Structure 1
Amino acid sequence: MKSNPTTPPTRHKEVIRLRERTLKNGNKSLYLDIYWKGVREYEFLNLYTCPASNTLERQRNRETMLLAEQIKAHRLLDLQADKHHIRKSQRQQSFIKYFELKTRQRYNSLGNYGNWKSTYQHLLGFCKHKDVSFLEVDETFLNNFKRYLLEEARASSNKRLAQNSAHSYFNKVKAALREAHEEKIIPENVATRVRGIRAGETKREFLSWEEVERIAKEPCDLPLLKTAFLFSVLTGLRWGDIIKMTWAEIRGSEAEGWFIRFQQRKTKSFEVLPITPEARDLLGPAGKMEEQIFGRLIYSAHTSLLIGKWMLRAGIHRKITFYCARHTHATLLLSQGVDIYVISKLLGHKMIKTTEIYTKVTNMKKVEAIGKMPKLELPALS
């Protein structure tokens, strides 16, 4: 039977479309627009692209888009399998591959991605590089993995994992299972019945103001890294927020005061952070509005090495990382008597409990507190 040439060809509606939503900071949030059996749903992928100003950023954007397309294809296969009634049990899916996917989704979150990637490597070691389905991930599996992290797993230095590393890695597995339950891949989150690994007491290194003055006078082999570190000391900004900061986010004037209007990379919340004139002066003359001020910095083992050499020049022999700059900012404010609630807001913490950790690291406040004890008159000793 011949088709009518005047009849337009049938257009098949695309079931899943990859879309993007522009955020206030110029980044684009990627999501799936799913229309299936008369119902429209949206799935936000927690993947973001940013306005690219250099080769590295363009490469990251390409990798992010590729990952989003892979997720889209995976979702489409799921829907088609359901359409033909051949979907195999969700719980027979590979937990290892699911965890790898969740790890890749965090690629743009530098510190978090590193933790998830390390956890994935330890999972492979525990499973002896064999595949494991969701059906096999039960209480026994989780308890055995917990024991593996505490007793057998090794860090890159070939030493046993630190307590807090084991705590963090086990929590990543529990987080993946929680997400799988939310996505209805598993009917029950078995991780809720397994006790986590207790976190150890964390020693948070920080610099005194006298030490800050010393490092400010010493050269660093990478001047831009020195500027970024000191800027973090003066503002409390995280590494991730500093390296993505653009000139458009720097607002104000000498007369009215300076502040930064930005979106936190970690929490995705929008913040307005007042900064000192000294912090603004550190940045130098303003560039183009869309230009990233510290965009050329990349965090790596070499970055940590450069910070260590810089500290040694200033006579500081403790292990100081970039994150210590944020610790320093918080403890300096505490030592000046700033209310902990105000500090919590300045640091962008969602919970005051997070900020209270800093109260453990400043001995000056402890000494001051003891000094406020009332005097007790004691009789003279005979």
Structure 2
Amino acid sequence: MATKVKLRRKPITQGRATLFLDYYPPILDPETMKMIHKEYLGIYIFQEPQNEIQREYNADMLLKAEAIQAMRIQAVINEEFGFLDKRKQKGDFLAYFRSFLMKKDPKWKMVYAHFEKFTKGKCTFGEVNVDLCRKFREYLLNANQLKFSKKKLERNSAAGYYSTFRGLLKIAYRDKMIRENVNDFLEKIEYKDVKKEFLTAEELGRLAGAPCEIPVLKAASLFACLTGLRISDILKLDWKHIVPAQDGGYCMRLRTEKTETETTLPISDEALELCGERSTGKVFKGLERSMIQHPLQKWLKSAGIEKHITFHCFRHTFATLQIALGTDIFTVSKMLTHKNVSTTQIYAELVNEKKRESANRISLKKLVLKED
């Protein structure tokens, strides 16, 4: 039976009536999967017009309501029910954003905090458009840090935050929470080239030999140097993720948090030893993010390492040492779960730079001068 669309009215306060469309049989809302039989139009008329102005007003409003009725009849025939997402457009985009914070890495919390500040705590799905997103881009480029309010947000932090925000927009579009793929009209914030610090083989050896007040921090750090895993993936690494491999060794089956990539990575015997005795639950029990700040720097200093090394630099260390030892860049790229080999290329350039430095260390001119 074909659905009929009737224009009806319902008495409300102050002698007015609200106009609505009555669908019979009801139609299915594809979003809520519930049957809808009434659509209120937000149009009001006078029940008993008192003068010519009110009569003209009623006639005008009825014409508008009938025009909507005609569009709905056509939509019902074509089974195009996009008009039913009106309520969704009024939904709380910030609440939707918050729903991801426990599932994603801590950077999402920072992005949310900045976006909440930018929107003054209010934003509906209907307000998420190209103009708003471009303004948020400008906000990030000029914003101060939240924790240190007098310090400007670094460009690479702004670039990372905006990339995360665009990731959210992609999910919202996929979930049909926003009407258009606004990412198609947005420019990313370009990262500024910065020097990637890493440990040399000699420095890594010194660090491994230096005592650390927090054993689990030392084990996790050296594990990162041997596997290239990010801190987010190490924190959630579970014993069930470490399984026997077909070649007789062991491997890690995991889903990386940053890129959400399903991957199987081989793990060396030495790296496995750093995990300790096999158990259940988390591999590095007791490891906290707070440990990779001051405690890590204290341990590095005790090893005589003056470089500015963060936990993420252990990932750089893994990559550069692998390439320096002859591992091909494609394999290193797979081990790092990079989606594109070009991302890994920078580590090869770092190794070449070190080769250039070592080549220049032997100088015949300096040797001749010494003999004179």
TM class by shorter chain equals: 0.5 to 0.7
* Superimposed CA distance per residue, residues 250-290 of structure 1 (whole angstroms, 9 cap, x where no aligned partner): 4569xx76322322332341304141x33333344x333x3
State the one-letter code of the partner of 2:297: G
SS at match of 2:251: strand
Q: 1:271 touches 1:348 (CA, 8 Å); kept in 2?
A: no
Match status 1:187 vs 2:179: yes
State the one-letter code of the partner of 1:149: L
Measure the CA separation in 1 of the matches of 2:215 and 2:223: 12
Match status 1:297 vs 2:297: no
Greater gyration radius:
2
Counterpart residue number, 2:254: 263
State the one-letter code of the partner of 1:297: L
State the one-letter code of the partner of 1:211: E
* Superimposed CA distance per residue, residues 6-49 of structure 1 (whole angstroms, 9 cap, x where no aligned partner): xxxxxxxxxxxxxxxxxxxxxxxxxxxxxxx999x9xxxxxxxx
Number of residue pairs matched by the alignment = 286
Query: Cα RMSD over matched residues?
Result: 3.0
Counterpart residue number, 2:92: 94
TM-score, scaled to structure 1: 0.66
Matches within 5 A, 1:131-170: 131-158=122-149, 159-170=151-162
SS at match of 2:199: coil
State the one-letter code of the partner of 2:264: E
- Unaligned 5+ segments in structure 2 are 1-26, 41-83, 362-372
Q: 1:250 touches 1:258 (CA, 8 Å); kept in 2?
A: no
Measure the CA separation in 2 of the matches of 1:120 and 1:346: 31
Measure the CA separation in 2 of the matches of 1:369 and 1:186: 56
Match status 1:329 vs 2:318: yes
Question: 1:85–1:303: structure 2 CA closer, same or farther, 3 Å change rule?
Answer: same
Measure the CA separation in 2 of the matches of 1:316 and 1:153: 31
Question: 1:242–1:147: structure 2 CA closer, same or farther, 3 Å change rule?
Answer: closer
Question: 1:180–1:221: structure 2 CA closer, same or farther, 3 Å change rule?
Answer: same
Quote how far apart the aligned CAs of 1:238 are.
2.6
Measure the CA separation in 1 of the matches of 2:123 and 2:218: 46
Q: 1:122 touches 1:153 (CA, 8 Å); kept in 2?
A: no
* Superimposed CA distance per residue, residues 98-123 of structure 1 (whole angstroms, 9 cap, x where no aligned partner): 2222x33xx244xx3x2111111111
Question: 1:121–1:292: structure 2 CA closer, same or farther, 3 Å change rule?
Answer: closer
State the one-letter code of the partner of 2:334: K
- Residue among 327, 343, 353 paired with 1:354: 343
Quote how far apart the aligned CAs of 1:325 are.
1.3
State the one-letter code of the partner of 2:96: Y
State the one-letter code of the partner of 1:139: V
* Superimposed CA distance per residue, residues 217-271 of structure 1 (whole angstroms, 9 cap, x where no aligned partner): 1111101110111121122223333334444554569xx7632232233234130
State the one-letter code of the partner of 1:204: K
Counterpart residue number, 2:354: 364
Quote how far apart the aligned CAs of 1:344 are.
1.4
SS at match of 1:270: strand
Matches within 5 A, 1:220-369: 220-250=212-242, 258-266=249-257, 267-275=260-268, 277-284=269-276, 286-288=277-279, 290-300=280-290, 302-362=291-351, 363-367=353-357
State the one-letter code of the partner of 1:339: D
TM-score, scaled to structure 2: 0.68
- Unaligned 5+ segments in structure 1 are 1-36, 42-74, 372-382
Quote how far apart the aligned CAs of 1:169 are.
1.7
Counterpart residue number, 2:111: 119
Q: What is the aligned-residue identity percentage?
A: 33
Measure the CA separation in 2 of the matches of 1:155 and 1:200: 21
State the one-letter code of the partner of 1:162: E
Counterpart residue number, 1:206: 198
Counterpart residue number, 2:43: none
Question: 1:83–1:161: structure 2 CA closer, same or farther, 3 Å change rule?
Answer: farther
Quote how far apart the aligned CAs of 1:329 are.
0.7
